Chains A and B, each alone.
Chain A
Amino acid sequence: MNFKHKYFFLFPGLFVLIGILIFPIIFVVRLSLSGWNSYNPGLDFIGLDNYIRLFTDDPRFWESFFRLSFLSVTTVVLQYVIGFALAHMVWKDIKFKRFFRVLFLVPMMTTPVIMTVIWRTFFHESLGPVNDILSNFGFSPKWLTDPALAKFTVIIVEVWQWTPFMFLLLLAGLLSLPKEPFLAAAIDGASPVRKFIYVTFPLMAPISIGAIIIRLIEASKIMDTVYVLTSGGPGTSTETSSFYIFIKGLREFQMGYAASMSFTYLIIMIISLTIIAKVLTKLLLKE
Chain B
Amino acid sequence: MNKLYTFLKYFFIVFWAVFVVAPFLWALTTSFKDFQSVNGGVTYIPWVDFEPNLEGWKVLIKSPAKGGVDIVEPYFNSLFVTCTASFISIVLGTLSAYALSRYTFKAGFVKNNDITFFFISQRIMPPIVLSIPFFLFLSSINLLDSLVGLILVYIVLLMPIAVWIMVDFFNKVPREIDETALIDGCNPYQAFLKVVLPNSIPGLIVAGMFCIIFGWIDFFFAFILTFTEVQLLPVKIVALNSSVTPWWSLSASALVSVAPLIIVAFIVERYLSKGNLSGAIK
- A residues touching B (Cβ–Cβ < 8 Å)? 1-2, 5-10, 12-14, 16-17, 20-21, 23-25, 27-28, 31, 82, 85-86, 89-90, 94, 98, 100-115, 117-122, 127-129, 132, 160, 168-169, 171-173, 175-176, 192, 207, 210, 214, 217-218, 220-221, 223-224, 228, 241-242, 245-246, 249-250, 255, 258-259, 262-263, 265-266, 269-270, 273
Contacts and interface: CB of A to CB of B under 8 A. Distances in A.
Q: Please list the 7 inter-chain residue pairs (A to B) with the smallest Cβ-Cβ separation, ordered nearest first.
A: A176-B278, A13-B96, A9-B99, A24-B133, A6-B103, A10-B99, A13-B92
B32 interface: no
Contacts of A169: 281
A119 B261 CA distance: 19
B54 interface: no
B219 interface: yes
Binding site secondary structure of chain B: helix
Contact of B122 (A21, A27, A94): A21
Interface string B167-189: 00000000000000010000111
B266 interface: yes
Interface stretch (B62-70, B197-205, B250-258): B250-258
Given A24-B134, A128-B42, A228-B241, A94 B13 contact: yes
Contacts, number: 252
Interface of B: 5, 9-10, 12-13, 16-17, 19-23, 26-27, 30, 38-39, 41-42, 44, 92-93, 95-96, 98-100, 102-103, 105, 115, 119, 122-137, 152-153, 155-156, 159, 163, 182, 187-189, 192, 213, 216-217, 219-220, 224, 233-234, 237-238, 240-241, 247, 250-251, 254, 257-258, 261-262, 264-266, 268-269, 272-273, 275, 277-279, 281-282
Contact of A109 (B187, B261, B282): B261
16 contacts: A6-B102, A16-B92, A20-B153, A82-B16, A90-B13, A102-B265, A110-B258, A111-B233, A114-B233, A114-B234, A118-B27, A122-B22, A129-B26, A168-B272, A220-B126, A221-B128
Contacts of A104: 16-17, 20
A105 B265 contact: yes
Binding site secondary structure of chain A: helix
B272 A175 contact: yes
A28 B131 CA distance: 10
B156 A17 contact: yes
Given A10-B96, A23-B137, A228-B241, A242 B272 contact: no
Nearest to B131: A250
Given A2-B188, A109-B265, A28 B129 contact: yes
B272 A111 contact: no
B4 to A, nearest CB: 12
Contacts of A173: 278
A1 B22 contact: no
A5 B189 contact: yes
A249 B122 contact: no
